[in-house]
Amino acid sequence: MEGRSQGAIAFVAAETADAQAAQATLIARYGQGDPAKANVIVVLGGDGTMLRTLHQTIDHRVQLFGMNCGTVGFLMNRFDVENLPERIAKARQSILHPLQMRVICQDGSEHLALAINEVYLSRETAQAARISIAIDGVERLPELVCDGIMVATPAGSTAYNLSAHGPILPIGSGVLALTPISAFRPRRWRGAILPHRAVVRFTIRDGDKRPVSATADFNEIRDISQVTVSEDRSIRLTLLFDPEHHLEERILQEQFQA
């Protein structure tokens, strides 16, 4: 948003040689702010680095401007040393809300985790998982036999969700993707699009024999019994994008790729 006041800019980088070299160059040009106090953090790397930085700063009101120095850069802007403060001042905001995953394990323990891209369940052994699905307290699918299933946000809909043949969701669409992973029964079930306020509950059938894990982005919990997923609207994450290539435009373009 034009006219935004940045204050000091902080830089964080992936451990790759390219990202580290880019960080050194940018710090030499613009200085290094304190990431704990900066209004804007410039993230250098790929989407994995951006995702980790979002998790690390989830309790802070900070804006993240990514520049691609990695292999995948869907959440990143192009890398350029020049005119960085001006680019940040003109950048457009995309607001993300993470998913909250509540897990009850087979041993009765309970766990919480947040996901910016997706929460996915997956079988732990060679045997397929058997999972029932309830939406807002109403059982919608008594049993899904599958390799797994996920709930994806719009920001995450172009990642694992897309690879599993799930729908691409525009930012601001107010929906979530419920996407099966290699569904065996019902064979023709392709998933569902849910309102973003939906509360999804997965219950594992025959979990002792067919163990299942649950993962929120990269935080995995094994031997689960039940998982509840809902959007946490109390958390706002702010990504900044160059106006000509903002996140909404990228998601639109992705739907027309061959």
Residues belonging to the active site: 47
Residue 158 assigned to a binding site: yes
Residue 118 assigned to a binding site: yes
Q: How far is CA 153 from CA 36, 85, 86, 98, 110, in A?
A: 27, 30, 30, 8, 23
Which residue do the tokens 């973003």 mark?
196
Separation CA 203–CA 139 (nearest Å): 10
What the block records as the tokens of 229 is 């997923």
Residue 219 assigned to a binding site: yes
Residue 162 assigned to a binding site: yes
Q: How far is CA 133 from the centre of its chain?
A: 22
Compute the CA torsion angle 230, 219, 95, 31 (nearest 10 deg): 160
Among candidate residues 170, 172, 149, the one with its CA nearest the CA of residue 160: 149
Residue 161 assigned to a binding site: yes
Residue 160 assigned to a binding site: yes
Give binding residues for NAD(+) as ranges.
47-48, 52, 117-118, 147, 155, 158-163, 219
